[in-house]
Amino acid sequence: MRALSLWQPWASLIYDGRKTIETRHWEMLHRGPLAIHAAMKVDKDACQEFGYDWRTIPRGAILCIVSVQGCVRFPHRLAKPDEYGDFSEGRFGILMTMLKKCDLPVLVKGHQGIWHWDETKEYPVWEPRP
């Protein structure tokens, strides 16, 4: 399955259903299932702004699987700007709907760009550090 790593809290915002458009400077051609991976990188200020604890937010793990419905260039009538992305003219918006939330985050090493995740393998689950 294709996967995309996002800094936190943006991966958790997708998991929580608050973020349905991922903004990028490049166009995504992939359509269909896409695993959302929480990268190890955490933006502490954004966590505070959006109500997450940066010390306990999942990282280095697959959080959910979305369906990519399309990718549009801004401005676009299907992509109403929100506080969770950069909707500048000329950038792209990946339009997503939730397919499945992981009961527990699945520990997987992420990568830049679109990468392959073998969802048939067994992986450990993420647990917050005390």
User: HEC profile for 46-71?
Assistant: HHHHHCCCCCCCCCCEEEEEEEEEEE
- Nearest alpha-carbon partner for 61 in 20, 118, 109: 109
**For residue range 63-73, what is the model confidence (pLDDT) as tens digits?**
999 999 999 99
CATH number attached to the domain at 2-116:
2.30.130.30
36 and 64 Cβ atoms separated by less than 8 Å = yes
The answer to whether residue 129 scores a pLDDT higher than 80 is: no
Could you tell me what percent of the chain has a pLDDT over 70?
98
The answer to whether residue 14 scores a pLDDT higher than 70 is: yes
- Beta strand residue intervals within 1-130, DSSP E: 2-8, 21-24, 32-42, 61-73, 92-107, 114-116
Question: 130: pLDDT confidence band, cut at 50, 70 and 90?
Answer: low
Please report the pLDDT score of residue 127 as a whole number.
82
Please report the pLDDT score of residue 126 as a whole number.
86
The secondary structure of residue 124, as a DSSP letter, is P
The secondary structure of residue 104, as a DSSP letter, is E
